[in-house]
A and B are shown apart, each in its own frame.
Chain A
Amino acid sequence: MTADVADRAALGLNGAFVAGLAVSAGLLLVVLALSLLQGVVPLTTADVLAALSDPHAEARASILVWDLRLPRAGLAALAGACLAASGVLLQGALRNDLADPALLGVGAGASLLVALGVMLQPANLAAMPGFALGGGLAVGLIILAAAQVFRDTARIILVGAALAALFSALVVALIVLANAFQLRVVYAFLVGSLIGRDASDFLRLLPWAAVLLPATLFFVRGLDALRLGEEMAAGLGVNVFRFRLLLMLAAIGLVAPVVATCGPIGFIALVAPHLARAILRGTDAARVLPLAMLIGATLLATADLLAREALSPAELPVGLVVTALGAPAAILLLRRHLAGHTA
């Protein structure tokens, strides 16, 4: 390839990258604005703007915006970005574009420990991300071990599916043993929900996201190298095993606090990176990662808006909306990939 063609190819990708970022950022803003305006009590644009400019006003609009709608919409967007980033990292670590923390059982493992935590220490909400991290890590290490032993990536996903079945069964066991007070809380860890989440939940997720989301950008060169193959990556100076472990840890560090605040939410981590790669028509991690994060944020914020408004005044758990939209998308992706690979 001549330098000229390479330049133009880079430019083309750049164009798609910038356009993709702009479009999804625009969509995200629209969704966030709608999240502030819509609700059981509709607000006018003037109300929202007035409330936003003066957080300490005692007006009803100010309370609705600052205490309820903004934290929840922000949590949805942040959680979506974390899930999407974890999807990119997991897919890179396992060299499998079908990897998804929910399909692999990482979400179920985290849910199990959070549900246990709710039963053992109901008051200690701050410890929940830690519990989730423990459960997610346990599953993640099993998956990583399976990935070391078995080259066949479809089988690794089967291991994950089996672990997910096992841990989900154990979560239900906990629910059955829970008293009525704990039941509702634990039930949220079966479907994933943002109902009633407020600023404290947002603040619990924020430090993890603030540290780990930018940190993922340090992985981009390694991700690109690993995509070329393990030998190639080793040749390029990547310590493959250590790097995979690091990717896995970071991915689980991103998923676990999301599970702890919102419950297990599937499919975003699978679909957002795919959309990003499709828009970019490439796999350049430095571009896929930020675009996937923005797309994930938009997807989850949109899903939560739908969950709030579809049956208003009743609310759906957002996990159900994500499943309803994500499962058909996942079926399409899986069929396209596996049909080719497992002949």
Chain B
Amino acid sequence: MSVRLLWPGLTALLLATAAAQLAIGTVAIPLAEMPDHIILHAVRLPRLIVVVLSGAMLGLAGALLQTVTRNPLAEPGLMGVSAGAVLAIVAMIIAASRAEGLGVVRETGWHLGLAGVAGGMAAGALTYALSRHQGTSRPILLVLMGVLVAGSASALTSVLLLTADESQLRLVLHWTIGSTNGRGWVHVEMLLPYAAAGLAMGLLSAGVANALQLGAGVAAGLGLRVEHARLLLIFAAAVLTAGAVSVVGGIGFVGLIGPHLARMLVGNDARRLFPAAAVVAALLLTLADLGARTFPLGWIEAWTRSPVPAPTGLPVGVITPLLGVPFFLWLVFARRERA
């Protein structure tokens, strides 16, 4: 694809997928009634906004993390950032329900994202620190340490959930793996501040990121305070990830695939790579969500001979690993990484 056609092409694809998201659903809406149909306004539109925004946030977070670690396998999920955010948010929810004497898990409120930023940053920084050996982050160590950090954080989350009852457990599990089911305007409001702050921070730091890509020595020679710059990028990635996680949960692999596809399209220049990663990841998540929504659950019902309980719908977090794991394996094997 030539560079001139790239942006119009991507935008057209995203718009087409978005239109499909709005048009397709359990309830068939005639085209003429579409503009002011209640389902469209109250259900499909807010969900679409949540999906596009969180996809863009995860994609940009992945691009930021890959740049700052100079590691092609970096990704919010693989680095434990998502699991750390989930842990902090679950702790926050439980503390809040205890304080108010409520037994019910409440899953809205923008303050959840703040807890997530702290937890996600702590976990991401820990993984990065553990993956460093003789001054560089090793791709393989990063993934393995990420698996362990994420595993430990998930284990702690499970401890916190020991007292949860079935419906709470289902809700939180749904959200742990990542789901966009039933997201409405209240979730758009939760997401917006983090999307605005994180996307702005991430996109504006492209110049800094370009300098970092040259290596710490060159970047320092250009007058950059390397550790500050790294911290800034990790912070932006944590804000993006935590904001998305607090609404849609730990959706994996979008932050890995998005930036890689974007890199194939536009190259390594962060000023083009970052926005492209956000758009491509938004497109991917919208497609995955379309897949999750139209997945034939009735077929599973027939097979397991038990009714699928509400809230229905396959969580999109189940779809993304199906795409992401083969892609990850291809990255590990087909491409010779610079270890």
A173 to B322, CA, bound (A): 12
Q: Chain B 302-328 against A: per-residue CB contact (8 Å), 1 yes, 0 no?
A: 011111110000110110011001001
* B148 in the interface (beta carbon within 8 A): yes
A316 to B318, CA, bound (A): 27
Whole-angstrom distance between the Cβ of A230 and the nearest chain B Cβ:
21
Whole-angstrom distance between the Cβ of B149 and the nearest chain A Cβ:
8
**A166-B321, A166-B325 known; A324+B152 contact, CB < 8 A:** yes
Whole-angstrom distance between the Cβ of B151 and the nearest chain A Cβ:
6
Q: Which of B252, B332, B339 contacts A169 (CB 8 A)?
A: B252
Q: Chain A 137-151 against B: per-residue CB contact (8 Å), 1 yes, 0 no?
A: 000000000000010
The answer on a CB contact under 8 Å between B177 and A172 is: yes
**A182-B306, A320-B159, A334-B148 known; A172+B169 contact, CB < 8 A:** no
The answer on a CB contact under 8 Å between A327 and B170 is: no
Contacts of B293 in A (CB 8 A): none
Contacts of B149 in A (CB 8 A): 327
Q: Chain B 20-46 against A: per-residue CB contact (8 Å), 1 yes, 0 no?
A: 000000000000000000000000000
**A120-B304, A324-B155 known; A175+B321 contact, CB < 8 A:** no
Contacts of B162 in A (CB 8 A): 314, 316-317
Residues of B273-301 contacting chain A, CB below 8 A: 297, 300
* B145 in the interface (beta carbon within 8 A): yes
Q: Chain A 225-238 against B: per-residue CB contact (8 Å), 1 yes, 0 no?
A: 00000000000000
Whole-angstrom distance between the Cβ of A312 and the nearest chain B Cβ:
13
* A335 in the interface (beta carbon within 8 A): yes
Q: Which of B143, B163, B297, B305 contacts A158 (CB 8 A)?
A: B143
The answer on a CB contact under 8 Å between B329 and A342 is: no
* A183 in the interface (beta carbon within 8 A): yes
- Taking CB as reference atom, which chain A residue is nearest B253? A165
Q: Which of B52-60, B106-114, B133-141, B221-229 contacts A (4 or more CB under 8 A)?
A: B133-141
* B144 in the interface (beta carbon within 8 A): yes
* A176 in the interface (beta carbon within 8 A): yes
* B187 in the interface (beta carbon within 8 A): no
Contacts of B317 in A (CB 8 A): 169, 172
**Chain A, interface size: which category?**
35 or more
The answer on a CB contact under 8 Å between B155 and A331 is: no
A134 to B260, CA, bound (A): 34
The answer on a CB contact under 8 Å between B325 and A165 is: yes
Q: Chain B 160-187 against A: per-residue CB contact (8 Å), 1 yes, 0 no?
A: 0011001101100110110000000000
Residue from B147, B166, B306, B307 having most chain A Cβ neighbours under 10 A: B147
- Taking CB as reference atom, which chain B residue is nearest A119? B304
* B261 in the interface (beta carbon within 8 A): no
* B216 in the interface (beta carbon within 8 A): no
For chain B, the count of residues having a C-beta within 8 Å of the partner chain is 50
The answer on a CB contact under 8 Å between B144 and A334 is: yes
- Taking CB as reference atom, which chain B residue is nearest A339? B133
The answer on a CB contact under 8 Å between A180 and B152 is: no
A305 to B152, CA, bound (A): 20
Q: Which of A6-14, A20-28, A46-54, A184-192 contacts B (4 or more CB under 8 A)?
A: A184-192
- Taking CB as reference atom, which chain B residue is nearest A154? B140
Q: Chain B 119-130 against A: per-residue CB contact (8 Å), 1 yes, 0 no?
A: 000000000001
* B158 in the interface (beta carbon within 8 A): yes
Contacts of B163 in A (CB 8 A): 314
Q: Chain A 253-278 against B: per-residue CB contact (8 Å), 1 yes, 0 no?
A: 00000000000001000000000000
Residues of A316-343 contacting chain B, CB below 8 A: 316-317, 319-320, 323-324, 327, 330-331, 334-335, 338-339, 342-343
Residue from A154, A166, A177, A317 having most chain B Cβ neighbours under 10 A: A177
Whole-angstrom distance between the Cβ of A169 and the nearest chain B Cβ:
4
The answer on a CB contact under 8 Å between A183 and B170 is: yes
Contacts of A314 in B (CB 8 A): 162-163
**A162-B329, A166-B325, A172-B318 known; A103+B252 contact, CB < 8 A:** no
Contacts of B325 in A (CB 8 A): 162-163, 165-166
Q: Which of A155, A169, A342 contacts B141 (CB 8 A)?
A: A342
- Taking CB as reference atom, which chain B residue is nearest A323? B155
* A125 in the interface (beta carbon within 8 A): no
The answer on a CB contact under 8 Å between B322 and A176 is: no
Q: Which of B130, B156, B173 contacts A175 (CB 8 A)?
A: B173
The answer on a CB contact under 8 Å between B166 and A338 is: no
Whole-angstrom distance between the Cβ of B333 and the nearest chain A Cβ:
7
Whole-angstrom distance between the Cβ of B81 and the nearest chain A Cβ:
15
Contacts of B134 in A (CB 8 A): 339
The answer on a CB contact under 8 Å between A177 and B152 is: no
* A170 in the interface (beta carbon within 8 A): yes
A317 to B160, CA, bound (A): 12
Whole-angstrom distance between the Cβ of B308 and the nearest chain A Cβ:
5
The answer on a CB contact under 8 Å between B144 and A191 is: no
The answer on a CB contact under 8 Å between A334 and B141 is: yes
Whole-angstrom distance between the Cβ of B309 and the nearest chain A Cβ:
5
The answer on a CB contact under 8 Å between A335 and B140 is: no
A18 to B333, CA, bound (A): 44
* A132 in the interface (beta carbon within 8 A): no
Contacts of A184 in B (CB 8 A): 166
Q: Which of A119, A180, A323, A339 contacts B166 (CB 8 A)?
A: A180
Whole-angstrom distance between the Cβ of A329 and the nearest chain B Cβ:
10
19 A-B residue contacts at CB 8 Å? A120-B303, A120-B304, A155-B333, A158-B143, A163-B325, A169-B177, A172-B173, A172-B177, A175-B170, A176-B177, A176-B314, A177-B314, A179-B307, A320-B158, A324-B156, A330-B148, A331-B130, A335-B133, A343-B339
- A residues within 8 Å of B by Cβ? 103, 119-120, 150, 154-155, 157-159, 161-166, 169-170, 172-173, 175-180, 182-184, 187, 190-191, 266, 314, 316-317, 319-320, 323-324, 327, 330-331, 334-335, 338-339, 342-343
Q: A-B pairs with the 7 shortest C-beta distances?
A: A323-B155, A173-B318, A169-B321, A166-B325, A172-B177, A339-B133, A327-B152
